[in-house]
Amino acid sequence: MDLQEYVDQFDSMTCIMSVEKNADGSYGKMRIEVGNKAYVATYEKNNDIPIDMPFGKKFVPGQEYTTYIPKDLNFEHFIFNSAVNKKPMHAYIHPDRFDVWFNIFSLPLDFDDPNKCYCTYTQELSSEASAEQMANLSAKTTSDVLKTCIKLRSTKDFLKTMDEVISDIRNICGSNFCCIMLTNFKENTCSLLSESTAPDIGHHSLLDYLNDSFIDLVKTWVDTIGGSNCLIIKDENDMDTIKVRNPRWYKSMQEADIRSIVLFPLQYNNETIGFIWATNFDTKNTDHIKETLELTTFFIASEIVNYQLLQKLEMLSSTDLLTGVKNRNAMNNRVLKVVSGRERKPDTYGIVFADLNGLKTVNDGDGHNAGDTLLKNAAKALMDCFADCEIYRAGGDEFVVISTNTSKETIEAQIEALRKKAEAPEPVSFAIGFYYDDKQGDIRVAMREADARMYEDKKRFYEKYPENRKR
């Protein structure tokens, strides 16, 4: 068979790939044997695609594919399955190193060569994602992805649903561990969103490893993935590639007895927001796992970003940005839930009104920056003394503490600790009113009583320090 004559019959960008067969079932070098005019033109005429041209602007047939693009395990698995395993292959992908979507096809060729196997490789490029192509999946994959989407869109408890989703994904992968980790490379942080562990491997949690050293390791994954859309390590040959490319990660996986792993970055607006991975998965189902996660991660990343946005909006609507405690809006909503019956009344609750003394004098004499500092110090003092309570800045210089299901003696001890922090008028002093209810009474009555007692305490403060009366 004349390979060049054969490939020239294709209108789309097409080449013929060869794969060297090893006696142990592994493979050797992969070469681009020939390409048609459309395929060769992507190398010789398109300067926008990040490929190497070591022979000037000429495409030279018969070279290893790594002559032109970085080594890509996903690409190698794709070609190996077609050429050696004789499977027709199709994928729709967006590798990070390219700013285009690839619709790729491969068909095995029956070519008489005892040392090599051959296949066609055809690619169609588009700048925008095609919903039709993304949905062109097997029935099983479609069912698994749809199940995840329904769970994510119908949930009222995002975190609980993510636990269910990650458990489903672990079962699909047939793995012993699966998790989603969120990352913020700008702030050098990572956090666990959800994880699922097979019952037979005992206690195993990513939380045991989350530290500065681990986030440094995670940063190396981006380069290890090498611009592809995922990383799949399914055998010793793949592990040997990681051993060369990222020896530190290879060592940690060996120590954790990880023999296979599928790792997908979670991308949103060209930014990595986290990773999802499954370890020691069922390698016989690699193609289905990859196809499922390629689309599932698309939806998961979108839902995570929506959740994070809602969390930020909720924080902005309920948090006093200056002091970091909750604001008056949050306090009103909290009281409304109790009064309306939407939230069960606590068995006991204590209400503490704490009015900051001296704020106006500091603002007038030293400026509002100094006043802001005083408010921050006041909030910190309250958080130190009432660590397990709800703290609100009700407005201006007034703070409210709500403590539920706590003994009266405990709250009184906390109040005493607050007074000891500010026995003198400087630097932070509070007028304090306290009311305790152990009969499930009206919380609004309790708040009015605590407020009245706070003003009585403020009166005593001025009697003790008459020079501060203007405060």
CATH of the domain at 404: 3.30.70.270
Q: Is residue 109 part of a domain?
A: yes
Q: Is residue 321 part of a domain?
A: no
Q: Which residues fall within 8 angstroms of residue 55, CB to CB, at 6 or more apart?
A: none
Write out the residue range of the structural domain in which residue 153 sits.
137-316
- Measure the CA–CA gap between 315 and 330, rounded to whole angstroms: 10
Q: Tell me, what's the pLDDT at 133?
A: 85
Q: Tell me, what's the pLDDT at 383?
A: 95
115 and 145 together in one domain: no
363 and 462 together in one domain: yes
308 and 345 together in one domain: no
290 and 229 together in one domain: yes
Number of domains in the chain: 3
Of the residues 298, 316, 334, the one at which a domain ends: 316
Q: Whole-structure pTM over 0.75, yes or no? A: no
Q: Two tokens at 153? A: 């869109």
Of the residues 94, 114, 130, the one at which a domain ends: 130
- Measure the CA–CA gap between 363 and 126, rounded to whole angstroms: 61
Q: What percent of the chain has pLDDT over 90?
A: 65
Where on the phi/psi map is residue 333: left (φ > 0), alpha (ψ -120 to 50), or beta? alpha
Parts of the chain with a pLDDT under 70: 45-56, 423-426, 467-471
Question: Quick count: other Cβ atoms within 10 Å of Cβ 5?
Answer: 9
At 53, the amino acid letter reads M
Q: Tell me, what's the pLDDT at 49?
A: 56
At 114, the amino acid letter reads P
Q: What is the CATH number of the domain that holds 121?
A: 3.30.450.20
176 and 294 together in one domain: yes
Query: Is 348 exposed, middle or buried (CB count within 10 Å of its CB: 0-12, 13-18, 19+)?
Result: middle
Cis bond leading into 50, ω under 30°? no
Q: Is residue 216 part of a domain?
A: yes
Q: Is residue 223 part of a domain?
A: yes
364 and 409 together in one domain: yes
Q: What is the pLDDT of residues 259-301, one digit of tens each?
A: 999 999 999 988 999 999 999 999 999 999 999 999 999 999 9
88 and 7 together in one domain: yes
198 and 93 together in one domain: no
Q: Tell me, what's the pLDDT at 471?
A: 46
11 and 106 together in one domain: yes
Q: Tell me, what's the pLDDT at 116?
A: 95
154 and 126 together in one domain: no
Q: Two tokens at 104? A: 């790729």
Q: Which residues fall within 8 angstroms of residue 306, CB to CB, at 6 or more apart?
A: none
Q: Is residue 89 part of a domain?
A: yes
239 and 126 together in one domain: no
Q: What is the CATH number of the domain that holds 312?
A: 3.30.450.40
68 and 145 together in one domain: no
Query: Is 127 exposed, middle or buried (CB count within 10 Å of its CB: 0-12, 13-18, 19+)?
Result: exposed
Of the residues 71, 102, 130, the one at which a domain ends: 130
